A = this chain, B = another copy of it.
Amino acid sequence: MWERKLSDYKVGESFMAFFLIRKAESKTTAAGNKYLDMIFGDSSGEISARWWDCKEEDELEYVKNTLVKVKGIVAEWQGRKQIKVEKMRAANEQDGVNIGDFVPIAPWDPQDMYKELHEYTMKIGHTGIRDLVQFIICESGERILTFPAAMQNHHSVRSGLLYHTLTMLRAGEKLLEVYDFLNKDLLLAGIILHDIAKLDEINANPLGIASDYTMEGQLLGHIIQGVKRINQAARNTNLDARTAALLEHMVLAHHYEPEFGSPKRPMIPEAEILHYLDIIDARMFDMKKALEQVEEGEFTEKIWTLNNRKLYKPQHALVQADDQEQEE
C-alpha cells in the first residue's frame, strides 16, 4: 500500500506514485491543444492534476475510477498544489497495488463487521422478526460488504453502510440498558433495516464509490423502497401483517420530519430512538472528520451538512490537562 500522504508532497518535487482517478475531463487550451483535467485521490485525500501532453485516445482510457501509475512534478496553481503529469499508465497486476487502498474506507474490516451484524441479528428473540431480517440481509448479497451509506454526506465511504449500521447497533444496545421498557427486537431490527434500501437507491461500484441514484431511487427514495422490501419479505417469511407494519413504520419514520422524507413521525418509542441513534451517528462521523482537519484552538470552515455551522476544536491542554495527572 501507498503510505505517503498527499499533504506531505512539496511544491517542486518530482515523484512516482499510484493514484485513483476521481474525476477526468478533457479540455482544450486557448491554443487549441487537448489536455486532461483530473482529480487524483488516494486514501489520504485528493489533489488536482493536469496532463498537458495527452493524446486524443487518452481521454477514453483514463476515466473516473481508473487506478494509474503516475510520474509527475508538484506545481502550484492559484495558491494550491497541482500535479503536472509527465507520464501515466493504468496500473496492472504486476504493480501489486490494492485498489481498495485508494478510496476512503470505514475504519473496521468488512468481514468483521458482517460477522458482528450477524451476531446482532441473532440477538433478536422474536422468530418472525429475526427471519425477516435474515431474509433481507441474505437477499442483499455481497454488495452490503462494501456499500457506502450515502452519495456524499456522512458515511459516504467504502463499507460505510455496514459501519453506520454497526455503530448504531452498539449505541442502541447501550441505550436499551438505560431505557429498559423499549422492545429490543423491534429496535435492533429497525436499526439493521433502516438504510438497507440504499442498496436499491444508489448505484455504487465494488469499490464502494457511489456514482448516482437509480431510477427508482429518484422516483421513490430509499425510505419507500425499504418499506416495499419489508412488505415483500414479510410475505416471503410469513410474518404477520401487524408486526410487519411496525417495522415498515420504523423505516418510514426514521427521518422524522416530512421535509426530510418521512411522511409519518414516530408513533412507537422504538421508532423515536431509532431516529436519534441515526442522527447522532451521522453527526459524530461528520464532526470527527471535520475536526481532524483543524488544529486545536481553531474553528473549521462552515460545514454544509451541519447547517453551515463552524465547529471548534478545544485546546487539549485546557480541557484535559488534569485528566492526565489524575490518571497517574
Mark the stretch among A60-68, A111-119, A304-312 that contacts chain B. A304-312
* Number of copies of this chain that the complex holds: 6
Asked whether A185 lies within 8 Å of B75 as measured between CB atoms, the reply is no
A228 within 8 A of B: yes
Enumerate the 8 nearest inter-chain pairs by beta-carbon distance, A residue then B residue, closest first: A125-B323, A174-B174, A258-B258, A219-B249, A127-B322, A269-B287, A28-B76, A258-B259
Asked whether B268 lies within 8 Å of A318 as measured between CB atoms, the reply is no
Which residues of A pack against B, CB within 8 Å?
A: 25-28, 30, 32, 75-79, 125-129, 167, 170-171, 174-175, 177-179, 181-183, 185-186, 215-216, 218-221, 223-224, 227-228, 231-232, 235, 240-243, 245-246, 248-249, 252, 257-269, 272-273, 276, 279-280, 283-284, 287-288, 291, 297, 299, 307, 309-315, 318-323, 326-327
Asked whether A314 lies within 8 Å of B183 as measured between CB atoms, the reply is yes
Alpha-carbon distance between A297 and B284 when the two chains are bound, in angstroms: 36
- Please give, as numbers and ranges, the residues of chain B lying within 8 Å of A227 by CB-CB distance: 220, 224, 227-228
Asked whether A240 lies within 8 Å of B183 as measured between CB atoms, the reply is no
Name the residue in A129, A231, A267 with the highest tally of chain B Cβ atoms < 10 Å from its Cβ: A267
Alpha-carbon distance between A284 and B28 when the two chains are bound, in angstroms: 38
Which of B79, B178, B291 sits near A28, CB closer than 8 Å? B79
- Please give, as numbers and ranges, the residues of chain B lying within 8 Å of A267 by CB-CB distance: 218-219, 299, 309-312
Closest residue of B by beta carbon distance from A299: B218
- Please give, as numbers and ranges, the residues of chain B lying within 8 Å of A77 by CB-CB distance: 28, 30
- Please give, as numbers and ranges, the residues of chain B lying within 8 Å of A319 by CB-CB distance: 126, 129, 183, 185-186, 243, 246
Asked whether A32 lies within 8 Å of B320 as measured between CB atoms, the reply is no
- Please give, as numbers and ranges, the residues of chain B lying within 8 Å of A273 by CB-CB distance: 280, 283-284
- Please give, as numbers and ranges, the residues of chain B lying within 8 Å of A232 by CB-CB distance: 231-232, 235
